[in-house]
Amino acid sequence: MTQGAHRLSRRAVLATPAMLSLAGTACAREPEQPGIPSGKTLVAYLTRSGNTRVIAGIVQRVWGADLFEIRPPRPYPDDYEQHVAQATRERDSGFEPSLAAKVDNIAAFGTVFLGFPIWGETAPPPIRSFLKAHDLRGKTLRPFITHGGYGVGGSLAVLATHATGATIEDAFVMEADQERRTLNQVRDWLGQINS
């Protein structure tokens, strides 16, 4: 089967929502294709409010991939503004947190879908840590990025400098809900309630 035919089979699966839940199994059983990186597919992602997790779940099911959540050992603050302040400090100082866990046997994967939200106009610090902690040489990296309306900022340059030796494909980029907007609207609502 050619790469085109391989893609077509994914498209056929994606065309029918009812097939989505079956897709992971069907795709996982496909034999290796010429021109397609050998090895398993990994979907690694970071999320705070869940937008990126939704995309990761879809990719994982359609592609029959393994799923890995990137987490620092200590979670970021629940409070949005404290989280923004910490992420800004870490970005400005170039801090790279350690990771709660690493991918077992990264060598087994030929393709890595890497998903993350934009924080402070760039890739979050744990994404830099993830890229440093795993040898992606010879692998295909397929980024998927969510942002709150201001675009990908410097994140693609971070991938270029940190994903040493990987072939980086064009990123899938999507504007998604901003927690700040939700926060402000809920605060306004609560402020209008007479206690």
Binding positions for ligand FMN, rule: CB under 6 A:
47-52, 83-84, 87, 117-121, 146-150, 153, 176-179
Q: Residue 27 or 114: which CB sits closer to ligand FMN?
A: 114
Taking the complex as a whole, the smallest distance from the CB of residue 127 to ligand FMN amounts, in Å, to: 12
Q: Residue 42 or 87: which CB sits closer to ligand FMN?
A: 87
Q: Residue 39 or 120: which CB sits closer to ligand FMN?
A: 120
Taking the complex as a whole, the smallest distance from the CB of residue 105 to ligand FMN amounts, in Å, to: 26
Which residue type, as a one-letter code, is found at position 57?
Answer: G
Taking the complex as a whole, the smallest distance from the CB of residue 182 to ligand FMN amounts, in Å, to: 9
Taking the complex as a whole, the smallest distance from the CB of residue 178 to ligand FMN amounts, in Å, to: 4
Taking the complex as a whole, the smallest distance from the CB of residue 21 to ligand FMN amounts, in Å, to: 23
Q: Residue 121 or 169: which CB sits closer to ligand FMN?
A: 121
CA dihedral (111, 116, 121, 125) positive or negative: negative
Q: How far apart are CA 99 and CA 71, in angstroms?
A: 6
Q: Residue 33 or 69: which CB sits closer to ligand FMN?
A: 69
